[in-house]
Amino acid sequence: MRRLALVRLRDGETVPFEQERIRDAIERALVAAGTEDRTLAFEIASVVELFLEKTFFDDVPDTAQVEDMVEKVLMDTGHPAAAKAFILHRERRKRLREAREARTSRFQPTLFDHRVVIVDDGSEGRSAAFSRERLARTLASDGTIKRSLADDVAAGVEGRLRAAGVSRTPASLVRALAENELLERSVALDLRRRGGAVLAPERLAAALYRKGSGGSAARGGAPFPAVAATELGGAALRSHALAELLPADIARAHLDGDLHVHGLELPAALFTASLRPADVAAGTAPGGAARAPGDAARSARRLTASLGRAQRFLGAATTEGVSITDVPAAFAPLLVGADRETIAEEAWHLLLATAADVGGNRIALDLTPLSPAVSPANSQSARASDPTSNTTVEPDRAASAAAAFSAAVLRAHGRREGLPGPDLLARPTITVSDRMLENAESREVLRLAAEAVLRGSPVVFPLDRGPGAVTPRDERRGIGRADGGPQLCAGRITLNLARAARRVGRGRVEGFLRTCDRLVEMAAEGHVARRELLAQVAGASGGCLAPLLRGPRGRDPLYDLNRATWSFGITGLNEAVQLLAGFELHDGDETVSRLARRIVSYLALRVKAAGASGDFTATLDADEDREVAARLFAADQLDAPVAMAELFPDRDAYTCGVQVRDDAPVDLLARVEHEEPLHGHLAGGTLKVRLAAKDAGGPDGIVALLRKLLRAGSAVRVEVSTW
What does 429-468 look like in DSSP terms, one character per residue?
A: E--B-HHHHTSHHHHHHHHHHHHHHHTT--EEEEB---GG
DSSP labels, 50-93? HHHHHHTTTS--BHHHHHHHHHHHHHHTT-HHHHHHHHHHHHHH
Give the pTM.
Answer: 0.73
Whole-angstrom CA distances from 544 to 245, 510, 560, 634 are 17, 44, 15, 34
Long-range contacts of 246-254 (CB under 8 A, 24+ apart): 246/526, 246/529, 246/530, 247/525, 247/526, 247/529, 248/95, 249/522, 249/525, 250/522, 250/523, 250/525, 250/526, 250/529, 252/120, 252/168, 253/519, 253/522, 254/125
Average predicted confidence (pLDDT) for the chain: 81
Let me know: does 497 contact 636? Beta carbons within 8 Å.
no
Task: Decide: helix, strand or coil at residue 385.
Answer: coil
202 falls in which pLDDT band (50, 70, 90)? Answer: low
> How many Å is the Cα radius of gyration of the chain?
28
Length of the chain equals 723
Which residues are paired to 496 by β-bridges? 571
282-328 pLDDT, tens digit per residue, is: 777 776 544 444 555 578 898 898 889 888 888 888 998 899 999 99
Q: Which residue in 195, 200, 178, 179 sits closest to 120, CA to CA?
A: 200
DSSP 365: E
Query: If you average pLDDT over residues 71-80, what whole number do you get?
Result: 91
Q: Which residues fall within 8 angstroms of residue 605, CB to CB, at 6 or more apart? A: none
Q: Which residue in 325, 329, 278, 331 sits closest to 300, CA to CA?
A: 331
Q: How far apart are CA 155 and CA 218, in angstroms?
A: 43
Identify the weakest region by mean pLDDT among 19-33, 287-301, 504-518, 541-555. 287-301
Which residues are paired to 718 by β-bridges? 461, 687
Let me know: does 265 contact 353? Beta carbons within 8 Å.
no
Let me know: does 326 contact 277? Beta carbons within 8 Å.
yes
Task: Output the pLDDT for position 554.
Answer: 57
Is pLDDT of 343 > 50? yes
Q: How far apart are CA 662 and CA 626, in angstroms?
A: 12
Task: Output the pLDDT for position 56.
Answer: 85
658-668 pLDDT, tens digit per residue, is: 999 988 888 88
The packing angle between helices 80-104 and 63-76, to 10°, is 160
Q: How far apart are CA 432 and CA 400, in angstroms?
A: 17
Is pLDDT of 385 > 90? no
Is pLDDT of 630 > 80? yes
Whole-angstrom CA distances from 185 to 149, 150, 182, 482, 600 are 9, 11, 5, 67, 58
Percent of the residues in the chain that have a pLDDT greater than 70, as a whole number: 82
125-180 pLDDT, tens digit per residue, is: 777 778 888 888 777 765 667 878 888 888 888 888 877 877 788 887 888 888 88
Is pLDDT of 363 > 80? yes
- Sheet with 118-121: strands ordered across: 126-129, 118-121, 168-170
Q: Which residue in 712, 262, 273, 287 sits closest to 523, CA to CA?
A: 262
Q: How far apart are CA 164 and CA 119, in angstroms?
A: 14
Long-range contacts of 503-511 (CB under 8 A, 24+ apart): 504/580, 506/579, 506/580, 506/581, 506/582, 507/580, 507/581, 508/580, 509/580, 509/595, 509/598
The separation between the first and the last C-alpha atoms of the chain, rounded to the nearest angstrom, is 82
